[in-house]
Structure 1
């Protein structure tokens, strides 16, 4: 059975037997348990072969290798052997508690929902049997596979939970665009609404792929949803990623968990167009440097909070609803104008539709920068970008995910093209010379942006791309297309007559 078939069978087993909101607890909790148990068992067998039973049961031997200690009753082989027990759900919950009690970094992070009255023990049993067939080595080589499993189930229950499900999940290709554009390699990274931790995970993958040290990037994040907070902790822990995550039930905008901190990088996919964000309470907040956000929409509250968290040379990538680029209601147009005139906005990227799970709301990416001069006085290798912005129109990019009729994703080549245009425009070393590409990217002056009344929709600036010349003479093409149109009209009349005849027979 392929991994895709296994995951589909697992989702199908859960579908109809529990609320979609439980999927993430059950599926991802068991995957976490399966991996940490496999990693433990691998190291246990190595120690047993080399040094004997005493070393194999020495807690410190696992701690020194960054491997979680898994007590006997929590080990996968024990749960698998007892998977048909009617109390298997309770046994899994106890296994989660036992792992938390032995590993301080996991306290409060693991789900204990398997023994609930609403969860069929047969489903838990079946999932254990299915996940036992997934081949894991218990090493970092498993992370790509685990990432695919997380992505599958996160997307599965995001679409089942409806539009709000997209609040906690950013599609992988959108994450990759932002990470590849702002390149968080050294300093402090912050996620103000970290969701499942996808930005953090890809940032670490970026570091590893480009031979940077993980120790050079400190990660911070906060999240309002406690379930999602736990999911992120599992997601990071399984990869050995160290981060300071805070659960903040009041919400980031109302109570900043890091009030005195500034960051080199911020990445965020805040919930779109939220009206219940306590805007009336925060009307006089010091963060609203560019104008007070409307009480009925938090989009520009998020943007200004994120900009406020940037250090003197910080840069941010923010996913936003398309309306943020053009809305003039409730003072949003004035805030946007103030941000542009203050050189707070570096680049705008229009994304293709159908990227997000559970919602078809079109989205864009704002790149914010605290210092668009790129510190020219300190580093002459970088280009001063003050007085202009980069616009990238990626709406024509993306293709349907194999097996899906409506879900799209960007390819690695498309992601690289977007990031390369941005790096070239910034004047980064080895990025090549920047040039406008009609239909794709344009470096627009402040004067040009002002002429468009500070509407930041990339399509207004990049123009139309070049059309391919098919070498067919205009006269011949006109005659051919006219003939095709007449034939279609004739076919339409024929079908209309046929339908009328059939209707008459029914009278």
Structure 2
């Protein structure tokens, strides 16, 4: 192996990105990045005892950079042998054939990438860079959300507070970033390899393959289910922690045979699915379906943290409003955090972070304060920082820590034996409300309506703009609902 000290980490990242960029001129950027992730995977997994006659990473390192198909064929052979299958029960459904084939003319870049990766033990930063590159190319990623920004992942996991031995699920796991962060969070606290169960589900086969490679490169044991739609069926088992960076406003999500009784004269919908015992969610948007799917999958003391479009917290649409009423009646809502706009890549729409909890009573591992029939609202709309040399924004470590400190104080949760910090409402930042007060406000769960800034001309302008945005989103929701009703009527004619 070459001397690792020959390159700084920044130089290594720049070199790998340079060769990946050259590959992207010969194939699309999405496939080029996945090919680099495949090489990172091989560097950690393609090892065998001498004499076994299988292609290995050390064998790949020895391949010459000659023109022709030699090294390209060697890379394909090695990937084909070592890549994990998407479905362990069926080789035909495996992911091996999903990896892109190195194109003609890529010999030099492939050889340079193999040598660069082989010269370092620090593959984690290289993998993170590749995942960020995949997320930046949304158009070619088929809408898949590969990478939740690190500060957002730390916020979500820190709000969920996973413990060793917990069963953790991400029903839309993408590249598996939230599960990786859960593993790191627990490992830092137990100082051992966690015994928790990590499970991920992903609809797209390509993304599912990336998740498997992500876990393998980092040495994390996790189970990624065969590609499929998580909303198709209820979860068969309960989970202690559920984390999800959800797709917003997903349309036409419901299977036809579960939503229509008759093509000519549909009967009223019968809520046979245990996830929605009172009424099924709207077919026009999967937002409510995702919330109920997650709530149904929680263990008796389970917690869930997920991203959700602003409109769900405040819309007057009857189905969504009744869902909020049921969540409050069942005392499932623990905290709602209004996030700054444009701090996560897959949507420019304003969003909130929801925290559900089936048991808010004082207990070990959660907190010393009984918070039943109460909800914490955090208004973090302005808690962002600019990304250097970019027009982008990020939450940032300081703001992430501030939100988590507020939530821990409200719970009465302490770390490392220290006394829990006292909680007090802070104007414009956080407020603890009773479920009765929330019910009197049409069960609105919008933090900016409760954690209100002190009066000022600037605040009044922002408040009016915020209200207009919510009203516009509400009108869009009603338009989608009316559109689906009209289509149902036309089908009867």
- TM category, shorter: 0.7 to 0.9
Structure 1 residue 409, shift from structure 2 partner: 1.6
Instruction: Quote the Cα distance in structure 1 between the aligned partners of 2:311 and 2:44.
Output: 42
Q: How far apart in 1 are the matches of 2:158 and 2:295?
A: 19
Give the SS at the match of 1:247: coil
Query: Which structure: larger Rg?
Result: 1
- 3-state DSSP class of the match of 1:455? coil
The answer to whether the 8 Å contact 2:84/2:95 transfers is no
2:81 to 98, 102, 113: 98
- Does 1:197 pair with 2:176? yes
For 1:125-204, list aligned pairs within 5 A. 125-130=108-113, 132-134=115-117, 136-138=119-121, 142=122, 144-158=124-138, 160-161=139-140, 165=143, 167-186=145-164, 187-204=166-183
SS of 2:105's partner is: helix
Q: Name the residue aligned to 1:255.
A: 233
After superposition, give the CA deviation of every residue in 1:233-253 in whole Å (9 maximum; x if it has no partner): 00001111112221143x111
2:481 is matched with none
Query: What is the SS of the residue equivalent to 2:290?
Result: helix
- Distance change in 2, residues 1:157/1:341 (3 Å): same
- Secondary structure of the residue aligned to 2:201 is strand
Q: TM-score, normalised on structure 2?
A: 0.78
The change in CA–CA distance for 1:204 and 1:175 in structure 2 (over 3 A counts) is same
Instruction: Give the structure 2 partner of residue 424 of structure 1.
Output: 409
- Which whole-Å CA distance do the structure 2 matches of 1:197 and 1:100 have between them? 17
Between 379-388 and 239-248, report the one with greater CA deviation. Answer: 379-388
Match of residue 196 from structure 2: 217
What secondary structure does 1:189 align onto? strand
1:14 Cα deviation from its structure 2 partner: 3.9
Match of 2:442 among 446, 453, 457: 453
The number of aligned residues is 426
Gaps of 5+ in 2: 1-9, 260-270, 457-493
The corresponding residue for 1:499 is none
Partner of 2:106: 123
Equivalence for 2:252:
276
Alignment equivalent of 2:429, drawn from 434, 437, 440: 440
Are the equivalent residues in 2 in contact too, given 1:74–1:96 (CA < 8 A)?
A: no
2:40 touches 2:217 (CA, 8 Å); kept in 1?
no
Q: Can you list the C-alpha shifts for 1:61-97, whole angstroms capped at 9, x where unaligned?
A: xxxxxxxx97347744134x23643343332111112
Report the alpha carbon displacement of residue 465 of structure 1 after superposing the two structures with TM.
5.4
Whole-Å separation in 1 of the counterparts to 2:279 and 2:33? 39
CA pair 70-206 structure 1, distance change in 2 beyond 3 A = farther
**Inter-CA distance 319–128: structure 2 relative to 1 (3 Å threshold):** farther
Q: Secondary structure at the match of 1:271?
A: coil
Match of residue 22 from structure 1:
31
Gaps of 5+ in 1: 45-55, 60-68, 468-507
Q: Distance between the aligned counterparts of 1:327 and 1:334, measured in 2?
A: 11
Decide which moves more: 12-21 or 297-306. 12-21
Residue 394 of structure 1, CA deviation: 1.4
- Post-superposition offset of 1:28: 1.6
Cα deviation for residue 114 of structure 1 reads: 4.1
RMSD: 3.1
1:294-328, CA deviations, whole angstroms, 9 ceiling, x for partnerless residues?
01111111111111111110001011112221122
Aligned equivalents of 2:252 and 2:71: distance in 1?
Answer: 41
Q: Which residue of 1 aligns with 2:11?
A: 2
CA distance in 1, matches of 2:351, 2:371: 25
Aligned counterpart, 2:389:
403
1:78 paired residue among 51, 62, 73: 62
Alpha-carbon spacing, 1:178–1:357, altered in 2? closer, same or farther (3 Å):
same
Cα distance in 1 for partners of 2:367, 2:21 equals 55
TM-aligned CA deviation for residue 7 of structure 1: 4.7
